[in-house]
A and B are shown apart, each in its own frame.
Chain A
Amino acid sequence: MDFTTVIGLEVHAQLLSKSKIFCSCSTTFGAPPNSHTCPVCLGMPGVLPVLNQTVVEYALKMALATNCRINPSSSFARKNYFYPDLPKAYQISQYAEPLAEHGYLDIDAEGTTKRIGITRIHLEEDAGKLLHDEHNPASYVDLNRTGVPLIEIVSEPDIRSPEEAAAYLRALHEILVYLEVCDGNMEEGSFRCDANVSLMPVGSSTFGIRTELKNMNSFRNVQRALEYEIKRQRYVLESGGKVVQETRLWDAAAATTSSMRGKEEAHDYRYFPEPDLAPVVIDGEWIKRLQNEMPELPAAKRARFVSEYQIPAYDAGVLTADKHLAFYYEAVVRLSGKPKQASNWVMGDVLRFLNEDKKSIRECPISPLALAELLGLLEENIISGKIAKEVIEEMYATGKMPQEIIASKGISQISDASTLLAVIEEIIKANPQQLAQYRAGKEKLFGFFVGQVMKATSGKANPALLNELLKKSLTP
């Protein structure tokens, strides 16, 4: 039997605010255990949460970028469950009235554009971490992460394949990072994904029983886990069985999913409105201001690069994958007026240097101005392409401007006809035999003379000028 795959994704993205969502503790990752805590995030008796407005603003930006309808008033709720990493024994989240709803994201699915609906985006706080002692029956609680702000982005069950799931996640990730509201670090858990997946017979309109997949910490793993789970469900269905509604954990090493808890063991979270916080009221002015401040998003930027700079879609994709790379590229274009060449040099040498050093574009020692100057020197034939390759290495190593490097090394091109002619005449004088052979018709000796001049000028002779002058001089 043929099945249609139905996938919905829940993404948790950690917001980049300096302080936590309900207190002023730092959100920095990697501090000593429990050093970023206070009575509020420790859940001590009598303390109260106060909503961080920056967190709301970041969440709103994401809501706008994903075409969501922002609720003029949303509210918090308590999600109650006992666990040592949750000091209040409830998570403050949004439930009945989320911050934003009914959005969408267009993704590239096998060359065509596909629209994935976004059910809701809501605010919530993160929990802490448990550290289990490997040698003793003891566990330790680190509450640094408690209260770190998160948004949960819930998609509609519009995704039909693991590839689409990965494409959706990449697009979401790219936007979050573009907006600078999330660092997108999947290893540190700043961007986490759970997936709901089910199969239904092709042509059916009733979704099958779904399972929820957890513990996938990379795009690749999301795709692999979904591929495995689809195969597993297909096998169950084809052998006449029924898929059990449950939560399953992905084991990347074993490349399998296994049951974590069934429907019966699912928590009853006893949600109810959080009485300690007022509703989040978003006025139109706030939204208008954010809309005005909204940066160009990756998809729009890609399209513009192709049309405005006449570069291939592939190049535009590479150059816009990182917002700062796009900024860099555009700066070089603005300063040099050469979009094609700028693209070649940025995608070629600059990215190669950075990749080798595992540096980001923001750490690049070559300023856009320096690169633009190099392109200008090439254009005006002051240096050759070969020399330029040497110069850019030096620029990357020292951060110096190309003119400065050329001057200090005396490697600028000889484009002065009289200087070059003097050298040519000397070479001809020194090689009378070859001159005679050339004049007798052995024309391939032309290359010999070019080589000799280049040698004599340490390769600095302007090739075009050299050709022209040499031809004249060799002709009787």
Chain B
Amino acid sequence: METYFLSIGELRAALAAGKLSAAQIITNTFERIASVEPHIHAYVKLLQESALAEAEQIDKEIKAGIIKPLSGIPIALKDILCTKGIETTCCSRILQNFVPPYDATVVTKLREAGAIFVGKTNMDEFAMGSSTETSLFGATRNPYDGERIPGGSSGGSAAAVAANECAAAIASDTGGSIRQPATLCGVVGLKPTYGRVSRYGLIAFASSMDQVGPITQNSADCATMLNVIAGYDRRDSTSVNIPVPDYTQFLGRDITGWKIGIPKEYFLDGIDAEIRRALNKTIEGLEANGAKCLEVSLPHTEYCIAVYYIIAPAEASSNLARYDGVKYGLRARNFGDLIDMYKKTRSYGFGAEVKRRIMLGTYVLSAGYYDAYYKKASQVRALIKRDFQEAFAICDVILAPTTPTCAFKIGEKIDDPMQMYLFDIFTLSANLAGIPGISVPCGYTEAGLPIGAQFLAGHFEEGKLLQIAAVHEQNAAFTKRRLRI
């Protein structure tokens, strides 16, 4: 029986009705993985044995009448989330043999909700990249076109969901790493508000922006996943202790009278014509649903890339300093003294992009440069945040493109970091401001590549994002294109 293409909602219904067992679902998922994974390479580690064992356990529970929110649902985890007893590498040589003795809080919550972990997914090394090409384990391919990138850094997670190698995935987003690959792979990706989901056990890249979120087939699944992972965690001092609403309640509500802000700074030249058309169509659809569009301004948008590429590398240079060969992970062989061990370990252990960002971050924090770079960037960051506050004073949500173009070809930008950085121009701002954003599919190019758009909302307004995403989904009325693979 083929079940791999079913959404979480559909799988839950079938499990509850006794039409499917968790064992069947998991078995079929691994059959699907076996057939498509050679073309995709979404995973860096598969957990078939434990997944099947867990499925049997879940089936027992279901027989006993216990159905949890994610009972028997096959979930993929980005390899940046710590999993107890299972290698967690961040797709870096420096952590290649690292096995955490603890689960990330999100992983614990998913387990408790009955989720079954299918495997760990590919990503750019330490989430630094926009294409999943900087992974130690090699690139992931876009399920819609094997010559193209799936986006990044959560390319493995987005591709796994798009290619139906799992029902949903959990990833992380520091500058667009959930929303951007979700867009390029034609699935839904949500970056929650900074502080909405615990970061405990999420391997840090840029601590003030990292956030965990789901990648799913649709907005309803996204709400289900967010229900499970959201909430205060006393182990994460930056998680916020405010109640978590039932996010599924926002699904199916209409958006009559809503004001949708269209930021003029995001609709300048340089956006692909097909994307622009798809966005216009999205706007028309939402207006037909009773929403009103208005132009808003985010005047400090032009500084986002500069600010991001100061703050994120600064934090990263400090966060990644712990990988020094002393305690865990890689230690270079044949070193002389202590300094030599550090140098050899880190030279061999980190890839080029990670090294570039460590150097950049070290530089901007150095004595004599701190004020000119880090401090100035922090001040501008406050202005970017204020731009959004002012915009949300007059609109409910903002609609913006996720990427300037659709998925580019593998190898196309890997040697040009500046071009690679510019690809994230529309997603960085949400991380700088700490606000939530959701990317939703809104069509395909003539060549058959997915196009997406993102909605942004004020802090802790994930409900609004899911509400409008669900309306858009109904509205756009595009049928899910079956993959050729």
Contacts and interface: CB of A to CB of B under 8 A. Distances in A.
Given A268-B366, A270-B362, A270-B366, A90 B321 contact: yes
A80 B321 contact: yes
B315 A47 contact: no
A141 B201 contact: no
Contacts, number: 100
Contacts of A278: 237-238
Given A46-B200, A82-B324, A89-B321, A275 B207 contact: yes
A45 interface: yes
Given A45-B90, A45-B95, A80-B318, A275 B370 contact: no
A143 to B, nearest CB: 8
Interface in A20-43: 39, 42-43
Contacts of B374: 272
Given A42-B327, A50-B235, A89 B322 contact: yes
Contacts of B204: 45-46, 276
A105 to B, nearest CB: 32
B432 interface: no
B21 interface: no
B338 A46 contact: no
A145 to B, nearest CB: 15
Q: Is the interface of B mostly helix, strand, loop or mixed?
A: loop
A39 B101 contact: yes
Given A80-B318, A268-B367, A270-B365, A44 B328 contact: yes
Nearest to A85: B326
A87 to B, nearest CB: 6
A88 B203 CA distance: 13
Given A45-B82, A141-B326, A278-B237, A39 B321 contact: no
B330 interface: no
Contacts of A276: 204, 207, 237-238
A88 B322 contact: yes
A399 interface: no
Interface in A87-116: 87-90
A45 B204 CA distance: 7
B88 interface: yes
A78 interface: yes
A46 to B, nearest CB: 4
A49 B206 CA distance: 15
Contacts of A272: 314-315, 318, 365, 370, 374
Contact of A78 (B102, B203, B318, B338): B318
B199 interface: yes
B2 interface: no
- Which of A45, A82, A88, A268 has the largest number of chain B CB atoms within 10 A? A45
Interface string A47-62: 1111100000000000
A455 B210 CA distance: 92
Nearest to A267: B367
Contacts of A80: 317-318, 321, 365
B309 to A, nearest CB: 15
B342 interface: yes
A45 B327 contact: no
Interface in A141-185: 141
Nearest to B339: A82
Nearest to A83: B338
B69 interface: no
Interface in B179-209: 199-204, 206-208
A37 to B, nearest CB: 10
B234 interface: yes
B442 to A, nearest CB: 34
Contact of B100 (A45, A87, A273, A275): A45
Interface in B316-334: 317-318, 321-322, 324, 326-328
A270 B98 contact: no
B236 interface: yes
A45 B200 contact: no
Contacts of B362: 270
A270 B316 CA distance: 13
Contacts of B208: 275
A45 B237 contact: no
B314 A87 contact: no
A87 B327 contact: yes
Nearest to A139: B338
B116 interface: no
B318 A50 contact: no
B326 A46 contact: no
Given A45-B98, A89-B324, A50 B202 contact: no
A77 to B, nearest CB: 10
A84 interface: yes
Contacts of A141: 326-327
A278 B194 CA distance: 13
A331 interface: no
Contacts of B327: 42-44, 87, 141
B55 interface: no
A174 to B, nearest CB: 35
Interface string B79-110: 00110000010100001001011101000000
A406 interface: no
A253 B362 CA distance: 40
Interface in B338-375: 338, 342, 362, 365-367, 370, 374
Contacts of A84: 324, 326, 338
Nearest to A79: B318
Given A84-B326, A89-B322, A89-B324, A48 B235 contact: yes
Given A82-B342, A84-B338, A272-B374, A46 B322 contact: no
Contacts of A50: 234-235, 237
Given A89-B324, A275-B207, A46 B202 contact: yes
B321 to A, nearest CB: 3
A277 interface: yes
A268 B362 CA distance: 10
A42 B202 CA distance: 16
B298 to A, nearest CB: 23
A78 B236 CA distance: 17
Nearest to A269: B367
A51 B237 contact: yes
Contacts of B199: 46, 48
Interface string A272-295: 110111100000000000000000
A141 B206 CA distance: 28
Contact of A82 (B100, B202, B321): B321
A46 B314 CA distance: 17
Contacts of A39: 100-102
Contacts of A46: 81-82, 88, 100, 104, 199-204
Nearest to B233: A48
B314 A45 contact: no
Given A80-B365, A84-B338, A48 B200 contact: yes
A278 B232 CA distance: 14
A338 B378 CA distance: 67
A7 to B, nearest CB: 26
A418 B95 CA distance: 97
Interface string B287-324: 00000000000000000000000000011011001101
B200 A47 contact: yes
B208 to A, nearest CB: 4
A228 to B, nearest CB: 31
Interface in B207-247: 207-208, 234-238
Given A80-B365, A268-B367, A276-B207, A45 B322 contact: yes
23 contacts: A39-B100, A39-B101, A42-B327, A44-B328, A45-B90, A45-B95, A46-B82, A46-B104, A47-B102, A48-B236, A48-B237, A48-B238, A51-B237, A78-B318, A84-B326, A84-B338, A268-B367, A270-B317, A271-B370, A272-B318, A275-B207, A276-B204, A278-B237
Nearest 5 Cβ contacts at the A-B interface: A89-B321, A270-B365, A275-B207, A275-B208, A45-B203
Given A43-B327, A45-B100, 4 more contacts: A48-B199, A48-B235, A49-B237, A272-B365
